[in-house]
Amino acid sequence: MFNIAKCNNCGLIYINPRPTAESISKLYEADYTPEEITDESLITKTANWKIIVKGILYKLYGYIGSLPRKGKILELGCGEGAILEILARRGCEVWGVEPNPKAARICKKKGLNVVCGTLEEANFRDGFFDAVIMSQVVEHLPSPKGTLKEVNRVVKREAKVYIYCPNVESYLSRLFGKYWHGWHIPFHFYSFTKKTILELANDAGFKVTKIDTITPPHFFITSLKSFLFGDSDNILAPIKRGKALDNPFVKVSLLPVFRILDFILKDKGDCLRIELVK
């Protein structure tokens, strides 16, 4: 049983008790391992048109639009390498760190330079990267401050760090309550607000150059599926049901609604977008 706690001093929200390293590793293996591609049929290259389409969709949804088009870029928790492929096509030199062995192997089959493990285990040299991306990662980390300090070590002076994570103060958090996707217990160890993410960045030695919020359609869809199917006895997890809602056309059609809501409900969007500079 995991409870949600809040620090009386800084307001940071976290789960307590935290799962053991062994138990969380097994949960990740069961829930986060790619299923649609087996080890025997790993793809070796993503079609160029698919990379272009993904880039357009990421931009529409609120991701990676402001990221650089050159330099050495590192993504933490890169998954199967979708963002790295987009950045590589832009002309960036890309590296990734991914703890899931199967996802890391898929990246390598695509020709991406990915280390399987944690950032601390990767042991990159000081001041190597021009930018670092942490998309839906910081809330999973056992020690966000420790990892951000390691990020500080491996980036150059004036390097940018881009963080995207759920906003616990969002209007969708209030709307969906316990079904809100951002809780994702026990995978999400922490839930951040603008205040707590700012304090984390400052403690790790970064300056915050930009912070705002946006609501990507798939954030809403994930919460909606949890609300619709979360109490069901069906053996499939809510995220794997209601596949019709995952259609890109559904997500794109919802964009105007969420852009209007984000404008009206300022700073209450479902995703925090933070840019840091060393």
Inside any domain, residue 182:
yes
Q: Which of 108, 213, 115 is nearest to 168 (CA)?
A: 213
- Give percent helix, percent strand, percent coil of the chain, each to the nearest 5: 45, 20, 35
Look at the chain and report how many structural domains it folds into.
1
Inside any domain, residue 255:
no
Inside any domain, residue 246:
no
Confirm if 199 and 206 have CB atoms less than 8 A apart: no
pLDDT in the model for residue 2: 82
**CATH code of the domain in which 52 resides:** 3.40.50.150
Inside any domain, residue 142:
yes
Sign of CA dihedral 87, 92, 97, 98: positive
Inside any domain, residue 232:
no
Residues 6+ apart with CB under 8 A from 270: 166, 167, 170, 171, 172, 173, 182, 213, 214, 215, 216, 219, 220
Across the strands, what pairs with 161?
132, 276
Inside any domain, residue 257:
no
pTM: 0.89
Amino acid at the residue 86: I
Range picked from 16-30, 36-50, 70-84 for highest mean pLDDT? 70-84
- Count of beta carbons in the 10 Å neighbourhood of residue 93: 14
**Domain extent at residue 37:** 3-214+268-277
Amino acid at the residue 241: R
pLDDT in tens, 176-234: 999 999 999 889 999 999 999 999 999 999 999 999 999 999 999 999 999 988 765 55
Inside any domain, residue 236:
no
pLDDT in the model for residue 246: 84
Inside any domain, residue 180:
yes
Split at pLDDT 50, 70, 90, the class of 40 is very low
pLDDT in tens, 41-61: 445 566 676 777 777 777 777
